Structure 1
Amino acid sequence: MCDYDNAIFRLATEAEPEDYTGEDGLLYCGSCRQPKEAYFAEGKTLFGRDRHPKECDCQRKQREEREAADREQKHREEVERLKRKGFTDPAMREWTFENDNGKCPQMDYAREYVECWELMKAENHGLILWGSVGTGKSYFAGCIANALMEREISVCMTNFALILNDLAANYKDRNEYISRLCSFPLLILDDFGMERGTEYGLEQVYNVVDSRYRSGKPLIVTTNLTLEELQNPEDTAHARIYDRLTEMCCPVCITGENFRKAKAQAKMERLKTLLNRKESL
């Protein structure tokens, strides 16, 4: 008998010390009292044996735990791969619903977007997240990205400053680069409107936005531009871009507290406390 055949029957031949043989002649588990063997149908044998291994409750539980651990390991590896691929800044990994400080009144929209992702994808619903500086627009988008990646959905979160640099460095592969951006089920463009407004830059911005539009896949944009500025572009070049965006994406005004200002204020107060403490020594 080969090693594989021996392995088939190993469960039946290698009994644990607490196992015992029941009145029916089968091996039983000493812990759960369930059989570890079962007879073949009457008259049937395999390799001269009249019985085959059978999982007892203990063995089944152990197997299920191993399988669950393997699935979790593979899931974590896949999520890690997606985050390495999808985020341009490692800090974005921390932009999650779990880490939210609760100061953005619109955060429930982000949760609803994730919960309704299949519908958002099917009907190509995007978002324009606009509002004052430091109100949490990027964090809002990052929460969506992280939550979808945890569901093993591929997301790219980048900005046009990086995109334009990459396009300039890959002159011959521009179409391939833009096609790769548009291959992600969700594309997030952070800090839209902050890129240089040269003729070349605007043309490449339009190419990316237009290609995403033609892909029929959702786009999320964060911007410090006002809704009025988006709806009343300054020239034809901007109008082409903004028209595409406003057709693809629903505007959401983010009105959270300016966390950068609050953080700076807290830092200043901390410094004052430390200096006062030093003076009193």
Structure 2
Amino acid sequence: MSIVITATSGHLGRAAVEAVLDRGTDPAQVIAGARDLAKITDLAARGVRTAVIDYDDPTTVTAAVTPGDVFVLVSGTDLANRDRQHAEVIAAAAQAGAGRIIYTSGLKADDTALPIAAMHLPTENAVRESGTPFTILRNGWYSENYARDIPTVRETGVLLSSTGNGAVASASRRDLAEAIAVVATTEGHEGNTYELSGDTAWTYDELAVALAQVLGREVTHRNVSSDEHRAILIDAGVPEQFADMAVAVDAGLDAGAMGFRNGDLSRLIGRPTTPLAETLHTLV
């Protein structure tokens, strides 16, 4: 049996391979999949087997998966085509005889105010209907999501949002990758859906305090309405499509879509989740 992990040229997929190896798995029993193998030569150098896995070509999945393998489907980023891609990949993995499918979904995907989390439901349904034993990992908010905000905050001292008092229980990508590794390498997870979020929920006012600490300067959270937020972004040259997406995400956070906590993540990885400030320090 091998552990086949997709999208390993991306952040989460690569971190999942590293977490599986850190748990003592023989590299020869790990297959790292990517569309472009040139991007994962470092994994191959560690003894990990590599395979082309292209979500637009399900035959690459049947070529990579052998009967009994654990197949980790890291969610794709082609939102326009993702439902079709995932459904075809899942069918191919089932046809190849995968022993279990693990899918990285979105927190509270079936009960969320955040569209980007709810968008995972069609894939969850495809996994459940595949006839293959499965585990759903509903990933919450990544603390690393704030990497893109740090340059502006460092320059202006202002954290702009329309999140209101919404709480966010973020976790580090490493935490979530460890959860993948635990589920892929241990028994007893079949049929389970885990809601994975950080141990501590914080507001954007508290995020501003954490950013001030790591940046060594005063940081103010400027909370505005959704309409004002959108106007500010468009005036700054952000394309309307991305401005609308950013405002929709903040509206979901304001509604508490990423504040849910039940301890699943810390229980799976056997330790407290990584504090927000600790992750922010790695991003500056």
Superposition TM-score tier, normalisation by shorter sequence? 0.3 to 0.5
TM-score by length of 2: 0.32
TM-score by length of 1: 0.32
